Structure 1
Amino acid sequence: MTRALIEAAFEDRDRLAAGWEPTGHVWGDAPILNRWAYGVHPLSGTMALVGFLSGQARTCSPVVAMLTGPGGIGWCRTLTGWIRLVLTSDELHRQGRHLLPAHARELELAAFDAGYRAPRRSLRPDGPIGTDARWHEAADYIERTARDAEIGFAVFYARQKRLALADARKASEVFWLSRTLTFD
């Protein structure tokens, strides 16, 4: 994954949001994902599709945009390219066009720059940041794995709370400071 791939994916997302309809020459030669279902990308913790690509079970890159009709037939734009979709196996499938919110670009770029890797699901907190110990466990994991732990934690917080990065940084600022300051 590169910054250029992320930027290109979100340029397509923005064009789609403005009404652009990609023609078959854009996605016509893309790989085909069959019997797909919604899943979670293991590194980013964001939505990805899982299914069979050339007969092999695969998880695609995080999804930026998708358009599907009956049975899940359609296409999706991931962070790394286009994929044709054939027959969903997911009963939760909703037909139509789905786009990430515009602020997701900033989150993906920040995650890339920070070297962010999503904590495993068991570390994802349910409760408030001040009382659920899993927030600290997730922060410990991010400190061990990210190049920029503070930004990495803000990305994690933003994804958990569905916030823009700036809002997540403000909301998690006191929590992060409490982990780094010591008083004598």
Structure 2
Amino acid sequence: MNKAVFLDKDGTLIYDLPYNVNPNLLTWKEDSFEALKTLAANGYLLVVVTNQSGVARGIFTEADLVALGEAMKQLLAEQEIPLAGFYYCPHFKEGTLEQYTKPCDCRKPAPGMLINAARDLQIDLQASWMIGDMLKDVEAGKAAGCSTILVEGSDQSGRITSTASQPSYIAASLLDAAKYILSVS
């Protein structure tokens, strides 16, 4: 079984540009590459898990999103960072495209994307981590059985109201999160 770090995309790996599927407009957080290299070098599979309501809203297509995931994988490969998976949830109950407005188990805070990745990539969820900038990332990770890290920056830490949203650690940055994982592993 593999150990993994599941990563939220928008606001965690890259700066959040709402509904962007243009790889040329991606702006990576300053320490993303160093953090990802550190985790990969220590045996962690890197897996992106991202809610993408823009599909359900009719703003972009799943094909656009898949192409973005492939572009991210290629860009990371150029930095010698292997991305093991890119999982997304296209559903949103208030969407405009009926086929995507149904209830699902993949939209965070549900753990479906992590569980699917674990099945596909032979990941031991209890030996894995979920890193994100929103409490729904923490909740998805905990529901899947992972340890969790909330990256500061979106004022979410002040909104922790239950054990379901209490992260294992609150990090100042993605690199801080990576260093913490290695310090306790």
Structures share a fold, TM > 0.5? no
Structure having the larger proportion of residues in strand: 1
With structure 1 as the length reference, what TM-score do the two structures score? 0.27
Name which one, 1 or 2, has greater alpha-carbon Rg: 1
With structure 2 as the length reference, what TM-score do the two structures score? 0.26
